Amino acid sequence: MEEQHPILVSVYITNYNYGKYIEQAVKSMLQQSLQDFEIIIIDDGSTDHSPEIIRKFAEHPKIKTIFQQNRGLNVTNNIALRVARGKCTARHVKHAGKRS
């Protein structure tokens, strides 16, 4: 069995119907200069096209995807914190700009 060493940073993205932004958020994270990180994407029961976009990243070695029925932000945050392997954990926050 391969031993997994702790990583430096776990960044988690909670998603509920942010299909318009999720791909850009993930690609932005993957382009960071820091390479000792993981991305956890939790889709909280989206009804838009978000799950299809997220599945494109499911095989990436730095990304863990979780799909669940809608349970709300607090539960989703707690799930992310339980599965995170990083020494530091951060939540990726979507831009708080104008809603459409």
CATH number for the domain spanning 50: value is: 3.90.550.10
Segment 73-95 shows an average pLDDT of 91
Q: Is 74 domain-assigned?
A: yes
How many percent of the chain have pLDDT more than 90? 81
Mean pLDDT of the chain: 90
Q: Is 79 domain-assigned?
A: yes
Q: State the pLDDT at residue 98.
A: 44
Q: Do residues 68 and 41 lie in contact, with contact meaning Cβ atoms separated by under 8 Å? A: no
Q: Would you say residue 97 lies in a domain? A: no
Alpha-carbon distance of 2 to 79, in angstroms, equals: 24
pLDDT greater than 70 at residue 55: yes
69 within some domain: yes
Residue 1 located in a structural domain: no
Residue 84 belongs to a domain = yes
Q: Which domain holds residue 13?
A: 7-91
Higher per-residue pLDDT: 85 or 7:
85
Q: How many domains does the chain have?
A: 1
Q: Is the pLDDT of residue 96 over 90?
A: no
